[in-house]
Amino acid sequence: MQRTSDRDITAFYEQVRGLSNGILETSSITFFLLIAVKVFDAQSIEKGLLAASNNGGLLLVPVVVLLARRAGARPAGSAALLVAAAAAAFMVPVIWPTHSVYVVGATMGTLLVALVTPFLTQMYQDNVPARERGALFGRVAMLRTFTGSVFGLGAGWLLTQNPDWWRGLMLIYAFAAAFSAFCFSRIPGKPLAATAARNPFHSLRYLVTDRRFLLLQISWFLVGFGTLMTGPLRVEVLANPKYGVALDAAQIALYVSTIPTVVRLVCSPLWGRVFDRYSFFTMRVVLNLGFALSIIAFFANGSPAGLWIGAITVGIANAGGDIAWSLWATKYTTPDKVADYMAAHTFITGIRGALAPFLAFQLTNVVAVPTLGWIAAGMIVTAALLLAPEVLAKNPMMDS
């Protein structure tokens, strides 16, 4: 009976929290950088800090998980503290609206939000039955995507009308983070298993002791590099006349943002059910092939059909990729090790997230952008082939 109660409470507050989390997801990706440029005329190093803040948080995840284990903290309680601190960081520039305070507050807030991931995964492991985790996460992702899209339109209009309204935007981010902290604080759960380890990167030992985990991370690294390298270059291909497309801003937004977002919104619940019912490795291979098809369609010839296929398939793959990235450990390891595996996983994600965009723009100096797209697609197909033996072996990454 108690297990059912924990599931119901978790499901309610997670779906409510999805509304505020959709707002938070638009922060560092779009509006924090926009405010830095339009309002404060930020220098390159400051823009770099804002752009890197999310990946910086991912790199610190192993440290935070170790501290939470040593303190015997609950996963949801740890997440609540982190996003509450983020709310405070977002609020500081509202009170002291100076250039340097804004950069520090926005950077620290984004970094703190990024630290939540392993605690969220452990929370799903502890409170939600295996057959329902993907479905719940899919519903939350749908709410998150919808809220983020609507808020993004409103926030963009607000800043266009008057950039000085940025403080109101920061206040909304602070409120969203505070509300997210409240939702986390209401979710039950048992404390994380205690550890005597002192090395903050203790969880990385699984890369040495677990061959399948190492294989999975190599595959994921290739996928991440391929998608992150080509993501910023899609706009370049669609906008630059030398690639034979030269679309206007509205058309570019249609193919890069609008279509993928709508498709992701529709497909998130569907992928949640797939996650619950099928092998994770099989799902991961299908997603990899979807990402590869999207890149090929975008970079092949720039035809309208190719752009539509590319936009639709990247939306489908992103919907499934979000669920797979966040919940895979619940199918992979024992319940007490989920947070540790996620800590190692997010750390590696932070590394590739920091390196891939930088490497992409450096490679454009020596490799044509369409060629770079084919290289990225090849990396992703290779990543799928690496996992093929695991799919054929019918490994235990199945629902139970």
Binning pLDDT at 50, 70 and 90, where does residue 153 land? confident
The rounded mean pLDDT for the chain is 88
Q: Does the pLDDT at position 29 exceed 80?
A: no
Q: Does the pLDDT at position 123 exceed 80?
A: yes
Q: Which amino acid is at 309?
A: I
**Is the domain of 237 the same as that of 381?**
yes
pLDDT on residue 194? 77
pLDDT on residue 341? 94
Binning pLDDT at 50, 70 and 90, where does residue 116 land? very high
**Is the domain of 145 the same as that of 45?**
yes
**Is the domain of 219 the same as that of 110?**
no
Residue 126 sits in which domain range?
A: 2-185
Cα–Cα distance for residue pair 92/100, rounded to 1 Å: 11
Higher pLDDT, 374 or 241: 374
Interval 81-110: pLDDT, tens: 999 999 999 999 999 999 899 999 999 999
In a domain, 330, yes or no: yes
Q: What is the pTM of this model?
A: 0.89
Q: Does the pLDDT at position 334 exceed 70?
A: yes
In a domain, 194, yes or no: no
**Is the domain of 79 the same as that of 166?**
yes
CATH number of the domain bearing residue 378: 1.20.1250.20
Q: By the 8 A CB rule, do 234 and 372 touch?
A: no
Question: Where among 129, 155, 185 does a domain terminate?
Answer: 185
Lowest mean pLDDT among 79-93, 223-237, 303-317, 322-336: 223-237
Q: Which two tokens stand for residue 262?
A: 């709508």
Lowest mean pLDDT among 177-181, 220-224, 264-268, 299-303: 299-303
Q: Which of 390, 382, 379, 267 is nearest to 328 (CA)?
A: 390
In a domain, 7, yes or no: yes
Question: Where among 185, 210, 235 does a domain terminate?
Answer: 185
**Is the domain of 211 the same as that of 165?**
no
In a domain, 197, yes or no: no
**Is the domain of 119 the same as that of 29?**
yes
pLDDT on residue 397? 52
In a domain, 193, yes or no: no
pLDDT on residue 114? 94
**What count of other Cβ atoms lies within 10 Å of the Cβ of residue 136?**
22
Q: By the 8 A CB rule, do 256 and 311 touch?
A: yes
Interval 182-230: pLDDT, tens: 999 999 999 988 776 678 788 899 999 999 999 999 999 999 888 888 8
In a domain, 271, yes or no: yes
Binning pLDDT at 50, 70 and 90, where does residue 284 land? very high
> How many domains in the chain?
2
Q: Does the pLDDT at position 4 exceed 70?
A: no
pLDDT on residue 281? 93
Q: Does the pLDDT at position 136 exceed 70?
A: yes
**Is the domain of 42 the same as that of 144?**
yes
**Is the domain of 145 the same as that of 40?**
yes
Q: Does the pLDDT at position 42 exceed 90?
A: no
pLDDT on residue 394? 63
Question: Where among 125, 154, 185 does a domain terminate?
Answer: 185
**Is the domain of 52 the same as that of 147?**
yes
Q: What mean pLDDT comes out for the span 367-385?
A: 89
In a domain, 398, yes or no: no
Q: Does the pLDDT at position 348 exceed 80?
A: yes
Binning pLDDT at 50, 70 and 90, where does residue 400 land? very low
Cα–Cα distance for residue pair 177/35, rounded to 1 Å: 19
Cα–Cα distance for residue pair 93/110, rounded to 1 Å: 14
In a domain, 399, yes or no: no
Binning pLDDT at 50, 70 and 90, where does residue 274 land? very high
Q: Does the pLDDT at position 302 exceed 80?
A: no
Q: Which of 315, 345, 314 is nearest to 329 (CA)?
A: 345
**Is the domain of 168 the same as that of 243?**
no
Q: What mean pLDDT comes out for the span 12-40?
A: 86
**Is the domain of 232 the same as that of 354?**
yes
pLDDT on residue 154? 87
**Is the domain of 159 the same as that of 209?**
no
